[in-house]
């Protein structure tokens, strides 16, 4: 065996086993090094940047997850509300017919108006009126009425069945209407002008 060089530090071997191998007895806990106040060991810079990037990515993923869950929750509530309101449309039509025929009286009047108020609070609104510009996205043309000389574009001549939509704009039932086209322009004869 060769002697260590005098300039080299001596090799120190530390046995960190908790049990003494000769006696089998537990060794005393090693003494912790005294903490130096104000000194914090910093992680190497690339490792710190990597952990920071991971944390930012996870935070962004969680924020996106929460937004998606909130959006899905709102969509489910709107779909359930629309389904309920759609099933009530025939009742609301019957209440309106009873009102038009003077049959909406007494206790039935209170029930009908109460039902209309509840559906209104849930965001249901009736639409469609004579003279509205015809829009195939919200109107269903059932009948073609005679041309309207005053109209400049196709208009609703009569509402045969009211349309229903949510205040969000979602159409539950398009308005069934009779439509009227504008009258063609009258041909002018150049001889009549002279």
With a cut of 70, say whether residue 154 has pLDDT above it: yes
With a cut of 50, say whether residue 169 has pLDDT above it: yes
What is the pLDDT, as a whole number, of residue 102?
Answer: 87
**Separation in Å, CA 38 to CA 33, 41, 168, 182:** 15, 10, 59, 86
For the segment 98-110, the average pLDDT, to the nearest whole number, is: 87
For the segment 63-89, the average pLDDT, to the nearest whole number, is: 94
What is the pLDDT, as a whole number, of residue 162?
Answer: 92
What is the pLDDT, as a whole number, of residue 37?
Answer: 62
pTM: 0.59
With a cut of 90, say whether residue 85 has pLDDT above it: yes
With a cut of 50, say whether residue 194 has pLDDT above it: no
- CA-nearest of 91, 135, 80 to 113 is 91
Distance between CA atoms of residues 152 and 5, nearest Å: 108
What is the pLDDT, as a whole number, of residue 174?
Answer: 95
With a cut of 90, say whether residue 175 has pLDDT above it: yes
For the segment 177-182, the average pLDDT, to the nearest whole number, is: 91
Q: Poorest-confidence range of 32-46, 83-97, 127-141? A: 32-46
State the residue for tokens 């196709």.
154
Give percent above pLDDT 70 in the chain: 85
Order of strands, edge to edge, in the sheet holding 139-148?
139-148, 175-182, 155-161
pLDDT band with cut points at 50, 70 and 90 for residue 184: confident
Q: Poorest-confidence range of 25-29, 107-111, 135-139, 164-168? A: 25-29
Q: What angle do CA 40, 44, 49 make, to 5 degrees?
A: 105
pLDDT band with cut points at 50, 70 and 90 for residue 122: very high
């Amino acid at each position: 065996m060769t002697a260590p060089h005098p300039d080299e530090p001596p090799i120190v071997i530390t046995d960190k086993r908790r049990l003494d191998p000769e006696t089998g007895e537990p060794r005393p806990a090693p003494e912790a090094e005294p903490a130096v106040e104000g000194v914090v060991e910093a992680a190497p810079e690339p490792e710190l940047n990597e952990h920071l990037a991971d944390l930012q990515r996870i935070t962004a993923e969680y924020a996106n997850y929460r937004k998606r869950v909130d959006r899905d929750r709102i969509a489910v509530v709107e779909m359930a509300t629309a389904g309920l309101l759609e099933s009530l449309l025939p009742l609301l039509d019957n209440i309106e017919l009873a009102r038009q025929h003077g049959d909406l009286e007494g206790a039935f009047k209170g029930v009908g108006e109460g039902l209309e108020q509840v559906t209104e609070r849930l965001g249901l609104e009736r639409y469609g009126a004579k003279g509205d510009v015809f829009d195939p996205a919200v109107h269903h043309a059932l009948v073609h009425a005679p041309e309207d000389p005053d109209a400049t574009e196709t208009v609703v001549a009569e509402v045969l069945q009211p349309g229903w939509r949510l205040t969000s704009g979602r159409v539950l039932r398009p308005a069934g209407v009779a439509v009227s086209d504008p009258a063609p322009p009258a041909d002018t004869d150049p001889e009549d002008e002279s």
